[in-house]
Structure 1
Amino acid sequence: METSRRELAAMMALGGAGMALSSTQASAQAATPVQAKLVHHVFFWLKRPGNQADRDQLIAGLRTLRAIPVIRDLQIGVPASTEKRDVVDSSFDVSELMVFDNAVEQKVYQDHEIHQAFVKSCEHLWAKVVVYDMQVVPDR
């Protein structure tokens, strides 16, 4: 089957339009800023260091935070029994590490009623809290 010049011109025009549309969509996607993930790492020092009941109560309170939908991952832990080195600080009692899709969602978490209730019900347990918020550097 032979293709007429008119059909060939139409196919070329459609192909060109498709390429232009694809290029426009790619440019629009490239122009849209990608919000980086945010890691929220919190360290707690208890008012009564080493008190198992206080530690358990704090861990139970942290577990309630899992119900907040914007949290992508939540890990709760205690100091690990690793090699003692000058660069390792294992003086804290409990730690939690959370991952959010972006800083906006971390703010939603901060204001969420479940987080506010956790603070209200557990703040009497800790003497000190240190927070490290990290914006994830995307791979290239």
Structure 2
Amino acid sequence: MEDKSRRKFLQNTGLAAIASATILPLSAEPERIKELFIHHVFFYLKEPNNAQHEAKLLEGLHKLAKVPTIEYVHIGRPAMTNRSVIVKDYSFSWMCFFKNIIEEEIYQTHPIHLDFIKEYSGLWEKVVVYDSIGPKKVD
């Protein structure tokens, strides 16, 4: 009997410790809201098979990545995946992450971004932009 009581006590104590570890920090600290903003651009080159134009746009995207409000950047090309829902008609994908919409608005008017548009926009026939913001959550 004593062994079962001890086991039960340890189980209950462990559950209480887990519950307090997950609940107390949330109630003990003020909530910190994280508002992630994602800016995803798809570039369609005028001459998609022109290696020089591809290299030039890639050069420009690497310059653009230096805008200080950008948290993370991903430059990509269409993946070699084959499912009916996958769009692969673009030349380059540019995805960048910002802490919030204010940081993204600073990016939009930053001289590096404006210079990028002026210097490289002649290479593409169109761009498609998807901006998204995640639901606010506690960090």
Q: TM-score, normalised by structure 2?
A: 0.74
Give the Å deviation of 1:66.
2.1
Find the counterpart in structure 1 of residue 114 from structure 2.
116
- Give deviations 1:29-56, integer Å, cap 9, x for gaps: 45x8x35110110000001122111111
Give the Å deviation of 1:137.
2.2
Find the counterpart in structure 1 of residue 50 from structure 2.
51
Find the counterpart in structure 2 of residue 18 from structure 1.
none
Amino acid aligned to 1:127: E
> How many percent identity over aligned positions?
37
SS in 2 for 1:67: coil
Which residue of 127, 130, 133 maps to 1:132? 130
- Give deviations 1:41-82, integer Å, cap 9, x for gaps: 000000112211111111110100122110000111111111
SS in 2 for 1:124: helix
Aligned-partner Cα distance in 1 for 2:90–2:52 = 16
* 1:1-140 equivalences in 2 (<5 Å): 29-30=30-31, 34=33, 36-82=35-81, 84-139=82-137
Find the counterpart in structure 2 of residue 15 from structure 1.
none
Q: How many residues align?
A: 111
Cα RMSD between the aligned structures? 1.8
Identify unmatched segments of 5+ residues in structure 1. Answer: 1-24
Give runs of ≥4 in structure 1 deviating > 6 Å. Answer: none
Which structure would you say has the larger Rg?
1
Aligned-partner Cα distance in 2 for 1:65–1:46 = 17
- Give deviations 1:72-98, integer Å, cap 9, x for gaps: 00111111111x221000000011100
Give the Å deviation of 1:120.
0.4
Find the counterpart in structure 1 of residue 22 from structure 2.
none
Report if the CA contact (8 A) 1:50-1:93 is conserved: no
